[in-house]
Amino acid sequence: MTTAEQTIGSNWLATAGLRPTRQRVALAALLIGDGQDRHVTAESLFDAAKNQGEGVSLATVYNTLRAFCDAGLMQEVTVDGSKSYFDTNVHDHPHFFWEDEAKVTDAPSDQLVIAQLPDAPEGAEIASVDVIIRLRRKP
Amino acid sequence: MTTAEQTIGSNWLATAGLRPTRQRVALAALLIGDGQDRHVTAESLFDAAKNQGEGVSLATVYNTLRAFCDAGLMQEVTVDGSKSYFDTNVHDHPHFFWEDEAKVTDAPSDQLVIAQLPDAPEGAEIASVDVIIRLRRKP
DNA sequence: TTAAGTGCAAATTATTTGCAGTAAG
DNA sequence: CTTACTGCAAATAATTTGCACTTAA
């Protein structure tokens, strides 16, 4: 990991008022270091950190992802009942879920047009609208 | 539970080629007995069965819900990472998720109009599109 | 009679938490 | 210094499974 990526990560943490610990800076660099949006599970991020020789415990990865979500730096994507996915893109946008690989990617949000949406029932308001496009390998 | 509801449940099982055991007929009657679509978790269905004095183990409720889904009688709705919800309405339709109550209901599908949908990436095809409208109590 | 279904209790999986030690402001 | 963070190991929660018993066909 370069110093540049660490700096980007530190700034990202700073904007949310989170302490830039060694572990968080390392994970932040993995998540946003190259400017690309990323979709991870706790396990996949843990493995990525390990592959870089970064010592971070799995519990800390879980706690850190929660902290990032609470701080609004990331969002959880609910696509699969058995695992939690986290997305560095916090804007409202649709997702592809590759069922064969159990992998999440962004779907192009400009290609999704919702012309009409059900009204929220009495006493409720719409917090967000999730659109998951489930994919399978073409036969 | 009336005999009529049991009969409806038995027929429902028969259409899927599932053996109408006492437990399955009881659960089926709870699920589709009154003709209304239902959204349950394993736990909520287990409680409902218990309240009717039907002896069904929790493991059997889990196994039965899986069997119903595998048979195409129900579908799983992924709205909450920590629990599985099951829907007796197998048609493609949007859902409301009431975040405060952790409850799922159907959203009126005629009020959802998707004018444009992202194309499936190369080599993939769209299996289904989930639309979850997350609600919160109005303040 | 025989293959499928049931019910426990034990196993599994993903995730959270308590708490003692470590480090950031 | 003081409070937040980390890491382990133990706890939790939802779900699945192994296996002996029961039941539908």
Nearest alpha-carbon partner for A22 in A43, A6, A33, A44: A6
Rounded to an integer, what distance in angstroms lies between the CA atom of residue A36 and that of residue A105?
Answer: 12
CA B90 remoteness from chain centre: 8
Residue in B112, B125, B129 closest to A118 by CB: B112
CB distance A52 to A31 below 8 Å? no
User: Using an 8 Å Cβ cutoff, are B109 and B91 in contact?
Assistant: yes
CA dist A59 and B105 (Å) reads 34
Whether B82 sits with its Cβ under 7 A from any strand D atom: the answer reads: yes
User: HSE of B86 in the Cβ direction (CA atoms, 13 Å)?
Assistant: 25
Q: How far apart are CA A79 and CA A130, in angstroms?
A: 10
∠B54-B89-A121 over CA atoms, to 5°? 105
Task: Check residue A104 and give its pLDDT.
Answer: 97
Closest nt by CA–C1' to A19: C24
Kind plus residue range of the DSSP H or E element containing B95: strand B95-98
Query: Percentage of residues in chain A with pLDDT exceeding 90?
Result: 83
Element (H, E) at B85: strand B85-87
Domains in chain B, start-ordered, CATH in brackets? 3-79 (1.10.10.10), 89-135 (no CATH)
Q: Which of residues 37-66 of B touch strand D (CB under 7 A)?
A: 41-43, 58-59, 62-63, 66
Gap between the Cα atoms of A48 and A52, Å rounded: 6
Report if CB B19 to strand C is under 7 Å.
yes
Inform me whether the C-beta atom of residue B114 falls under 8 Å from chain A C-beta atoms.
Answer: yes
Q: What residues have CB less than 8 Å from B86, skipping those under 6 apart?
A: B39, B40, B41, B42, B45, B65, B68, B69, B74, B75, B76, B77
Nearest to A125 among B120, B124, B138 (CB): B138
Which chain B residue's Cα is nearest to A133? B129
- Asked whether A94 and A109 are in contact (CB, 8 A), the reply is yes
At residue A9, the pLDDT reads: 80
Q: What is the pLDDT of residues A31-68, one digit of tens each?
A: 998 888 999 999 999 999 999 998 899 999 999 999 99
Report whether pLDDT(A11) > 90: no
- For residue B23, give the nearest of B40, B43, B46 by alpha carbon: B46
Alpha-carbon distances, residue A24 vs A2, A19, A73, A90 (angstroms): 15, 8, 12, 18
Q: Tell me the pLDDT of chain B (139 aa) as tens digits.
A: 457 888 887 888 988 989 999 999 999 999 998 888 999 999 999 999 999 998 899 999 999 999 999 999 999 999 999 999 999 999 999 999 999 999 999 999 999 999 999 999 999 999 999 999 999 999 8
The residue in chain B having the minimum alpha-carbon distance to the alpha carbon of residue A126 is: B135
Residue B74 burial by CB count (10 A; 0-12/13-18/19+): exposed, middle or buried? Answer: buried
The reported pTM is 0.93
Question: Is the minimum distance from the CB of A44 to strand C below 7 Å?
Answer: no
CA-CA distance, A5 to A32, in Å (whole number)? 8
